[in-house]
Amino acid sequence: MIEQPIAPTVVNDAVETRLRRAYGFEEVALVPGEVTVDPAEVDLGVEIGGRQMRIPFMAAAMDAVSDVDFAVRMTEAGGLAFVNLEGLYARYEDSTPIIEQVALAETGQDAARVLAAAYDAPPRDDLITALIKRIKARGGIAAVSTTPASAWHHAELAADAGADLFLVQSQVSSARHISTAGRVLSLADLTGGLHMPVLVGNTVSGRAAYQLMHQGAAAVLVGVGPGAACTTREVLGIGVPQVSATLEVAAARDRFAQETGRYVPIVTDGGMKTGGDIAKAIASGADAVMLGSPLAAALEAPGRGINWGMAAPSPTLPRGTRIRVGEQLPLEQILFGPATTTHGTQNLVGALRQSMAALGARTIAEMHEVEMVIAPAIATEGKSWQLAGRE
């Protein structure tokens, strides 16, 4: 008997079930509609964990980006910055010498050795309490971040010190962290036992986000490995391009809101460099964005023109790579302009406002409704002379 070949439709169905197309910022474009609005009438305000922000911008909990001073500055600008409770500022009274060594290291490997040694020192409870109180004393929003393994201990410290927002962040987040080495983290128990909002990240799955929302998450961060200083995608091979990931998690948010009446904001975290990227993230369904390297370029950032990945819990895998973020500029110029280049990396707030105005979106919620198209050539179509002659 001659064996019959497998029907192509069966093969295709199996491929489509296990392998789906996903899109990043460079592959999509936003479509202007029938209405435009005055940019001055665009409202960029958003509420995260009960905190009203004038601009939907958060600084990532990276040591080269967010310290006490930068947290206060971001609050004054209308956004906020998360400070890492497992970072340098929770381990050393003065981290300046370490940052200088990282900046001056001849190679990335040399910088990695400096960081590995620096992060070997354990976080100190007294320094955690002190940094939260210093942010609060200067009128800043005290937003802090930790990993699931340390969440219970740090949550109690942060609450006692008066923190406003508590972020439990890891490479991939789930509603329940399984570990035999310490206390198991149940998000429901954590959110139920604290008197401050608990944000959770990161995920790229709508199903996971939906569970996190049911467990009491005040907001969910979207993104696995897209950051310029992150090596997760290269080292572990995991991640989903940010546009597709944000769309999926936004759909879960909307379903959850419809079923429960509780709206849980989502934050696209990483992978954005320009105002156009940020506009696409908001259009994909994000309520706010979290930026690392674009803000590490601020003169006020502690990293001195460099950035590196967060302190990963694994002692044997890379902690992210050191990158030089290019020209350093005042935070005011990065966020509000004026822009002196055409690269889209300055006046990020103004670019988002102008994009929303051109698309007829007066609020973040209205921006979620704009039309998007798959457009891989959007950045290069008709731009050959411009790209060749760009300075």
Q: How many residues appear in the chain?
A: 391
CB-count exposure of residue 34 (10 Å: 0-12, 13-18, 19+): exposed
| pLDDT at residue 171 in the model | 65
Residue pLDDT, tens place only, 174-218: 555 544 455 556 788 888 778 899 999 889 999 999 999 999 999
With bands split at pLDDT 50, 70 and 90, how would you rate the model's confidence at 109?
A: confident
Contact of 70 with 58, CB cutoff 8 Å: no
Residue pLDDT, tens place only, 291-311: 999 999 999 999 999 998 764
Report how many helices (DSSP H) and strands (DSSP E) the chain contains, helices first.
16, 16
Task: For residue 259, give the DSSP letter.
Answer: H
With 60 as the cut, is the pLDDT of residue 10 above it? no
With 60 as the cut, is the pLDDT of residue 106 above it? yes
pTM strictly above 0.85: yes
Contact of 140 with 72, CB cutoff 8 Å: yes
Rounded Cα distance between 158 and 92, Å, is 18
Rounded Cα distance between 95 and 177, Å, is 31
Rounded Cα distance between 208 and 285, Å, is 17
Identify which of 168, 94, 86 has the alpha carbon closest to the alpha carbon of residue 128.
Answer: 86
Residue spans of alpha helices (H) in the chain: 8-18, 68-77, 96-104, 108-118, 125-137, 151-161, 187-193, 206-214, 232-236, 242-260, 275-283, 293-296, 331-336, 348-358, 364-367, 384-389
| pLDDT at residue 190 in the model | 84
Rounded Cα distance between 71 and 63, Å, is 12
